[in-house]
Amino acid sequence: MTRSPILVITTGGTIDKQYFDALSEYKISDSVIEQLLATARVKHPFRVVELMRKDSLELTEADRDLIAATIAAAPEKRVVITHGTDTMTDTAKALAHLKDRTIVLAGALAPARFKESDAPFNLGMAFACCQAAQPGVWITMNGTVFDGLAVRKDREAGAFVSI
C-alpha cells in the first residue's frame, strides 16, 4: 500500500442532511465530510471537492457527467464519492468507463449529524477500499464491499444487496 493521495468528492445525500428549525425541514447542508475525517484523525493525504448538494433522486445525467469529468481530470488514482443512496448504483454505472482508478461510492442511511449514524463507518470503509481494492467502481455500505455494478438498494430492507 502506498500512501497515494485520495480525492473525496461530495455530492450531497442523507449523509450531509441537516435539520433547519426555521423551515421545520431537513435539507442538505454544508458537507460534514471534513469534520468526519478530522474526528477519525485521518493523516492520509486527501483533497475534498464539494461538487454538489443534492438528494440523489435529483441527480441528472449532466451531474453524473460532471462527476466523471472531475475524476478524469484529477491527478488522484483513488477516489471516494459521498452520495445519496437511492441512485448510488446509477452513478456507479456512469463511472464504469473510467479505467485505472479505484473509485468507491458510500453514503449513509442516517445523517452524519445523528448520534447513531452509519456515516463514519461507511466513510472508513470507502477510505480503506480505495487503497486496498483493484481499480474499478465499488460501493461500501452495510458492512460489505460491493462490486458497484452488481448491487442494488433494497429500499424496504434499508440495505444494499448483491445482485
For residue 89, say whether it is annotated as part of any ligand binding site: no
Least distance to a copy of itself, CB of residue 69, Å:
26
Dist. CA 116–CA 149, nearest whole Å: 29
Q: Is 102 a catalytic residue?
A: no
Residues in contact with 94: Cβ distance below 8 Å, sequence separation at least 6, in sequence order = 61, 64, 65, 67, 68
Binding site for a copy of itself (CB under 8 A): 1, 3, 14, 17, 19, 21-22, 24-26, 36-37, 39-44, 46, 55, 57, 85-86, 109-111, 113-118, 120-129, 131-133, 138, 140, 142-147, 155-156, 158-162
Dist. CA 143–CA 140, nearest whole Å: 7
Least distance to a copy of itself, CB of residue 43, Å:
4
Is 80 in contact with 6 (CB distance < 8 Å)?
A: yes
Nearer to a copy of itself, 67 or 106 (CB): 106
Nearer to a copy of itself, 103 or 129 (CB): 129
Strand order in the sheet with 78-82: 46-54, 6-12, 78-82, 102-106, 136-141, 144-147
Least distance to a copy of itself, CB of residue 96, Å:
16
Nearer to a copy of itself, 17 or 64 (CB): 17
Is 65 in contact with 41 (CB distance < 8 Å)?
A: no
Other C-beta atoms lying within 10 Å of the C-beta of residue 90: 14
For residue 117, say whether it is annotated as part of any ligand binding site: no
For residue 56, say whether it is annotated as part of any ligand binding site: yes
Which residues participate in the annotated binding site for substrate? Answer: 56, 85-86
Q: Which residue numbers are catalytic?
A: 14
